[in-house]
Amino acid sequence: MVTKLNTFHGLILTMRPRQWTKNVLFVFPAIVFNAQLFDQASFIRVLVCCALMILTSGCVYIINDIVDVESDRQHPTKSQRPIAAGHVSISVARLVAVLLAIVVLAAAFSFEQRLAVLLLAYLLLQIGYSLYLRNVVLLDILGVTAGFVLRILAGGLVIDVALSPWLTTSGGLLALFLVIGKRRQELALLGDQAAAAREIFRRYNLALLDDMLRIVTTCVLITYIIYTVEAPTLIKQGQNLGLITVPIVVYGLFRYLYLIHVEEEGSAPDEVLLTDRPLQVTIIAAALAYFVILYLL
């Protein structure tokens, strides 16, 4: 019984509970920014969508850890993952991944057929990433980012809203910013052992990743500002109140860059989000600003 409980606990850890926040942050923008958060029917549909996306991403994490088991064992922290550490057998993990994928896709199909298609696309994309794209320079980063864009689209799909292309673009670029930052910090942390832990690190260096961060940071700010200007839900009495949030977003991006370059953190964005108090305050401030603009004015 203890062994079964340990295996179950190991499988839950393999599904990365700390990273479930990413699904919330990228699935909910559609309902939030379209001012439908307090529409009960829409909220329930987005909540179900988020739960299905969490389970789908959990299935992907299990598959990824099976594929990466040998390289993870060479990594200073990933070696502690349940499959790499031997707490969950590969055969059990493989069976659970297959069953979980079947159950999630079946549930999604009965809930919203278009969501099932999107989740299948997400699943195939991530499997393709684990088996091939992760070893192709630049496409490895873009492949992960595409998964976040699909999350944003899923949130809009289940409530039948037309997402602003600028909101989708700025969200996708923000995801790209986080992915590049994570890749940079992994490379800096591993140093000379980077190539041994993951072959793709042979194709990157800090200078390239820093240049990519600069470009993407600029693009995030530009697309976000355009969104705040053109979004009809942010215009109150002829005023573009969304612009009020721009300084908050600027500080949040700069704070993350500070954590990367000065504090040498950021290899796990989910952990940074859960531990850095100024960044948490920034997110709360942005949420409160949007709540007032969208729902109180």
Q: What is the pLDDT of residues 87-143, one digit of tens each?
A: 888 999 999 999 999 999 999 999 999 999 999 999 999 999 988 998 999 999 999
Displacement of CA 181 from its chain's centroid (Å): 13
The CATH number assigned to the domain holding 110 equals: 1.10.357.140
Phi, psi of 93 (to 5 degrees): -60, -40
pLDDT value for 44: 96
pLDDT value for 1: 43
Q: How many domains does the chain have?
A: 1
Q: Is 112 among the domain residues? A: yes
Confidence of residue 3 (pLDDT cuts 50, 70, 90): low
Q: Pick the more confident residue, 3 or 69.
A: 69
The tokens of 267 are what? 């290899």
List Cβ neighbours of 144 (8 Å cut-off, separation of 6 or more). Answer: 129, 175, 179
List Cβ neighbours of 57 (8 Å cut-off, separation of 6 or more). Answer: 15, 16, 19, 20, 22, 23, 122, 126, 147
pLDDT value for 2: 40
Q: Is 255 among the domain residues? A: no
Question: Average model confidence (pLDDT) for the chain?
Answer: 91
Q: Is 290 among the domain residues? A: no
Per-residue pLDDT tens digits for 251-295:
999 999 999 999 888 667 777 877 899 999 999 999 999 999 999
Neighbour-count burial of 124, counting CB atoms closer than 10 A to its CB (0-12 exposed, 13-18 middle, 19+ buried): exposed
Helices within the chain (DSSP H only): 2-14, 20-27, 29-33, 40-67, 69-72, 82-85, 90-111, 113-131, 139-157, 165-190, 194-197, 206-230, 246-261, 269-275, 277-291
List Cβ neighbours of 107 (8 Å cut-off, separation of 6 or more). Answer: 52
Q: Is 173 among the domain residues? A: no
The tokens of 213 are what? 């961060």
Q: Is 44 among the domain residues? A: yes
Q: Is 234 among the domain residues? A: no
Looking at residues 62-87, what average pLDDT do you find?
85
Could you list the residue range(s) of the whole structural domain that residue 11 is in? 1-163
pTM score? 0.90
Q: Is 47 among the domain residues? A: yes
What is the rounded CA–CA span in Å between residue 258 and residue 254? 6
Per-residue pLDDT tens digits for 234-247:
988 888 899 999 99
Q: Is 150 among the domain residues? A: yes
Per-residue pLDDT tens digits for 105-115:
999 999 999 99
Looking at residues 170-196, what average pLDDT do you find?
89
What is the rounded CA–CA span in Å between residue 282 and residue 285? 5
